[in-house]
Structures are given as C-alpha cells and as structure tokens.
Amino acid sequence: MTISAVETILLAGKPVAAEIKSGLSRSIAALKSGGITPGLAAVLVGEDPASQIYVRNKAKAFVKAGCFSETFRMAGDVPQAKLLQLIEDLNRDVRFHGILVQLPLPDHIETKKVIYRIAPEKDVDGFHPVNLGRLLEGVPNFIPCTPHGILKILEHYRIPVKGRQAVILGRSNIVGKPLFALLSQKSKYGNATVTLCHTATPDLAYFTRQADLLIAASGVPGLVTGSMVKQGVDIIDVGINRIADSSPKGYHITGDVDFESVQGIANSITPVPGGVGPMTITMLLYNTVKAAQNLFESQN
Ligand code: NAD
C-alpha cells in the first residue's frame, strides 16, 4: 500500500489581515465620530534600509485605514538624551495614542532605556515591562504585534493549539518569549505544552520533531528542513531573511524554514513573504485603535 503525502495548506496572512482591518474600520469610524482619530508616532533613528521600509509601510497602512501617523526621523548619531526627550514629548502629545520606536537602534543607544521611557498606555508595540508583565500575568493590554498576529492566523485557519506540543525557535522579547507566554496560558488560543529553543539548545531536531505546532523565529534562513519535522505539523515561519541575489532589487526574502522540503510533510505552513509579515502591521493598527479606545473610555 502506498501512502500519499498530504497537501500542505498555505496559511496566507493577507485574508486574516483584511478581516481584522474590516473590523477595525468600524471601531475607527466610531472613534472619529466621537472626535478621536487614532494616531501613531513612529520614531526612526538612522538610515537602516529595512527599518525605513518598515516605517514607511506602517505609516501608509495607518493613513489607508483612516488613522493619523507621523514619522519622527533622527540622525544615526543622535545623542540618547535627545531621543529620550522626543519620547517624553510624544508621551504628552495628545495627537498620538501610540508610539513606535523602530528597532534596531544604533549601538550607542540603550534600547531598554528608550522602551522604558514610552508611557505604557502608548506602548502599542507591547515591549514595555508593564505590558510584558501584564501579558505574563494573563491580563494583557497590548500584546506584541507579531505574536498577536500569529495567534490570529492560528484562530482564522482553526489550527488547534490546546493540548498540543508547541515548539518555538527563538527567545527574543518581541517574538519568542511573548509567544511562549501566550501559547502556554490557559486561554482560548493557549493551553499548549510549550518548548522554547534557542542558540544553546543542543540537537535542535530532537525538539522540532516533537512539535505538533512549530514556530520558527530564529532569523536563520532555512534552519528547519523536512527531515526535522514530523508528519502533520503546523508551521508558522516568522523569519524574514534578506538573501543577496542578482535580481534588480539585489535580494530576496526567505523564511527560517526550508519551504520546499516540508511540502507534503507539514499539514500547513505560513509562506514567506505573505504569511506573518502582513499581520504585524495590522496588529500595530489594532493596538493603536485599542489605545485610542482606552483613552476614550477613560474620558467618558
Ligand atoms: P532575534 O535575533 O532577536 O532572536 C533570534 C532568536 O533565535 C534568539 O533568541 C536566538 O537564541 C534564536 N536562534 C538563533 N539561531 C538559532 C539556532 N540555530 N537554533 C535555535 N535558536 C536560534 O530575532 P527576532 O527579532 O526574534 O526575529 C526572528 C526572525 O523573525 C528574524 O528573521 C526577523 O526578521 C523575523 N521577524 C519577523 C517579523 C514579521 O513581521 N514577520 C517580526 C519580527 C521578527
């Protein structure tokens, strides 16, 4: 008897993002009729090309959704004190419900100090310790955008989480650690048994082979191959890796998973690009609308 391979389902981010944006447009209209236009202040330090693209795309998405967005650009050698002063000013500026500082920051700037300076009620990236602490406690206010977007993809495509063995590759504060908290929590899109792997994990494949749900957020292109996963695994590929090539753009984007080699083994996988990527900006919009709603509710 021959066993035919399953067809791996593609978990595209765009339809999920569109559904969320359509719900948000009603909330935005309601806020506007109450005199509030959700506003985002984006802070961009230096000339990093990827950061410039990210900030431009975020600003575009906000304007398209009928929200307000302004980008504050600072030179790569800006003194830290000047950046901290800008954050203080934005904390007080009533036009902005959310503040986003595009990472990474130049080496002479202490990233933690900058993040800690953002008022928690405007921390729409969800990186401030108050917001991360609330997340860990199970009472989140702002969930970091990429992990939140991943939950929305799982929910949209009805990928089961409860009772499954989830394995996360990467322990960053912006992806791996918040996801660990979310997936292990006793909640609708939690209740998984979660393993968090990182650079000091010996024999990565030992862990990835146990995964029913595998989330790759290592920033290592093609780290996960077909021989490292079990039949029927659901894979979320968070990686966005720029690979230099001879195309007019000079590069292409790949994920952390060797997409071709998991075909027919994985039950499903998010494509790169077009999977988690479109969700991150959408969840930033979601958090900024939430910040504006929080303010509206506190005033009424
Ligand atoms: P990071 O560099 O801060 O963290 C990477 C993590 O991966 C580290 O914790 C490290 O321990 C772990 N790691 C590295 N090599 C490993 C290996 N060989 N085995 C096991 N673990 C390993 O990165 P990050 O900011 O968390 O981002 C991770 C990836 O996700 C990057 O490619 C990034 O571009 C991408 N990303 C995408 C989105 C999106 O919107 N799709 C958002 C954020 C990050």
Asked if residue 158 and residue 264 are part of one domain, the reply reads yes
Give the distance (Å) from ligand 1 centre to CA of residue 220. 7
Give catalytic status of residue 58 as yes or no: yes
- The answer to whether the CB of 8 is under 6 A from ligand 1 is no
Give catalytic status of residue 212 as yes or no: no
Q: What is the pLDDT of residue 3?
A: 53
188 in a domain, yes or no? Answer: yes
214 in a domain, yes or no? Answer: yes
267 in a domain, yes or no? Answer: yes
Domain C-terminal end among 127, 160, 185:
127
Asked if residue 211 and residue 247 are part of one domain, the reply reads yes
Nearest by Cα to 154 from 212, 203, 112, 89: 212
Catalytic residue among 58, 122, 177, 290: 58
What's the length of the chain?
Answer: 300
Give the distance (Å) from ligand 1 centre to CA of residue 240. 9
Give the distance (Å) from ligand 1 centre to CA of residue 103. 13
- The answer to whether the CB of 280 is under 6 A from ligand 1 is yes
The answer for 152, left when phi > 0, alpha when psi is -120 to 50, beta otherwise, is alpha
Nearest by Cα to 10 from 185, 152, 197, 157: 157
Asked if residue 246 and residue 167 are part of one domain, the reply reads yes
Residue 146 CA, distance from chain mean position: 1
Domain C-terminal end among 127, 162, 195:
127
Give the distance (Å) from ligand 1 centre to CA of residue 198. 9
- The answer to whether the CB of 172 is under 6 A from ligand 1 is yes
Asked if residue 267 and residue 149 are part of one domain, the reply reads yes
Q: What is the pLDDT of residue 299?
A: 85
Asked if residue 157 and residue 112 are part of one domain, the reply reads no
- The answer to whether the CB of 146 is under 6 A from ligand 1 is yes
13 in a domain, yes or no? Answer: no
Give the three-class secondary structure for 257.
strand
- Alpha helices by DSSP H, listed for 65-103, are 80-92
139 in a domain, yes or no? Answer: no
Dihedral (Cα; 222, 224, 225, 227), 10-degree rounding: 160
134 in a domain, yes or no? Answer: no
Asked if residue 271 and residue 215 are part of one domain, the reply reads yes
Asked if residue 179 and residue 270 are part of one domain, the reply reads yes
Residue 224's domain is classified under what CATH number?
3.40.50.720
Asked if residue 209 and residue 86 are part of one domain, the reply reads no
Q: What is the pLDDT of residue 16?
A: 98
Asked if residue 176 and residue 105 are part of one domain, the reply reads no
Nearest by Cα to 165 from 107, 230, 91: 230
Give catalytic status of residue 125 as yes or no: yes
Distance in angstroms (rounded) separating the CA atoms of residues 230 and 203: 15
Q: What is the pLDDT of residue 85?
A: 98
Asked if residue 112 and residue 192 are part of one domain, the reply reads no
| CA 103 to ligand 1: nearest atom | 25
Asked if residue 159 and residue 119 are part of one domain, the reply reads no
H/E run at residue 17: helix 14-33
57, 175, 279: residue to mutate for ligand 1 pocket, most atoms within 8 A of CB? 175
| CA 275 to ligand 1: nearest atom | 41
Domain C-terminal end among 127, 158, 173:
127
Q: What is the pLDDT of residue 253?
A: 94
pTM for this structure? 0.96
Catalytic residue among 21, 122, 123, 125: 125
Structural domain for 48, as ranges: 36-127
298 in a domain, yes or no? Answer: no
Structural domains counted in the chain: 2
Contact assessment for residue 208 and residue 226, using Cβ atoms and an 8 Å cutoff:
no
Residue 45's domain is classified under what CATH number?
3.40.50.10860
| CA 223 to ligand 1: nearest atom | 18
Nearest by Cα to 141 from 111, 98, 173, 101: 98
- The answer to whether the CB of 98 is under 6 A from ligand 1 is no
Asked if residue 44 and residue 108 are part of one domain, the reply reads yes
Give average pLDDT by consecutive 10-residue segment, the chain, 300 residues: 73 98 97 96 95 94 96 98 98 98 97 98 98 96 98 98 98 97 94 98 98 98 98 98 94 96 98 96 98 90
- The answer to whether the CB of 272 is under 6 A from ligand 1 is no
Half-sphere exposure of 283 (CA within 13 A, CB side): 23
Q: What is the pLDDT of residue 225?
A: 98
Question: Encoding tokens for residue 10?
Answer: 């593609």
